[in-house]
Amino acid sequence: MRVAMLALPLMLVAAGPNPPRSSAPKNGQELIRAMHDRYAGQWYKTLSFTQNNTATDTAGKETHSVWKEYANIPGNLRIDFLPADSGQGYIFRADSLYIFRHDSVRRAAPFIHPLMVLGFDVYASPAETTIAKLTRLGFDLSKIHEDMWDGHPAYVVGVDAGDNHHKQFWVDKDRLLFVRIVEPGQQDSTILQDTRFEDYRAIGKVWLSARVRFLINGKPNWLEEYIDIRTGDPLTNVLWDPKQFAAARPK
């Protein structure tokens, strides 16, 4: 799962009836509460998958890599670069990021992972926790409007209608699933980052996005495609212990 501008690379519509719509949320806070309540108690708590990555440079050249990822929802994500014995990867835990090289922490810093918050944790964490994190991330939760995305109605939070250049997230109106973040670059505001959760698949009564696409100024930058997807497996907590990165690495 990547994070735009950090070079940290994380989903489709399945057949089936949509639940009845409730009244439209008046702001981002109401939308977050509705997202949580729609799937409360049903969302998977653990997730693992193999991630096939395609990076595209400004000249259009593609390079490929493979990662293995493990999540304990809410809040914990581990990424191992394959081959696993390379000792490279990331741990996201307790709103912090740990970057590993040769099985040692090369960098540790506070970090709220927006894709984890909006794509996964929102359905498992208390709504007020998610609202607080999105506020810290700089989203204006007072602003909400409706638009269309991929042929379906969507809520857009963070900007007024017609604003395509400021920080915002999009949520599918019928299923209340996160589908998109748009934001200017942290270092260069002329750069527009557009991250899209695609290929949503039904997992029981909930969902999983099996493809994530990253665009920079409308051009392909990074693509993630997930295979070997598993939910509900028991995962040991040491997977997310930075002091045991090498020892906890799955064989």
pLDDT band at 2 (very low <50, low <70, confident <90, very high): low
pLDDT band at 84 (very low <50, low <70, confident <90, very high): confident
Token pair for 56: 């595209």
Q: Is the pLDDT of residue 3 over 80?
A: no
pLDDT value, residue 15: 36
E-assigned strand segments in 31-116: 46-56, 62-72, 76-81, 89-93, 96-101, 104-110
Per residue in 36-68, pLDDT tens? Answer: 999 999 999 999 999 999 999 999 999 999 999
Q: What is the rounded average pLDDT of the residues 13-18?
A: 39
Geometric angle at alpha carbon 223, from 59 and 170, rounded to 5°? 115
Q: Is the dihedral of CA 135, 141, 147, 151 positive or negative?
A: positive
Per residue in 183-233, pLDDT tens? Answer: 998 888 889 999 999 999 999 999 999 999 999 999 999 999 999 999 999
Average pLDDT over the chain reads: 92
pLDDT band at 12 (very low <50, low <70, confident <90, very high): very low
* Alpha-carbon span 243 to 161, nearest angstrom: 46
pTM over 0.75: yes
**CB neighbours of 217 closer than 8 A, spacing ≥ 6?**
191, 192
- Give Cα separations from 72 to 142, 170, 184 (angstroms): 30, 24, 29
pLDDT value, residue 22: 64
E-assigned strand segments in the chain: 46-56, 62-72, 76-81, 89-93, 96-101, 104-110, 144-149, 152-157, 168-172, 178-184, 192-203, 206-216, 219-231
C-alpha of 56 from chain center:
20
pLDDT value, residue 187: 82
* Alpha-carbon span 90 to 74, nearest angstrom: 16
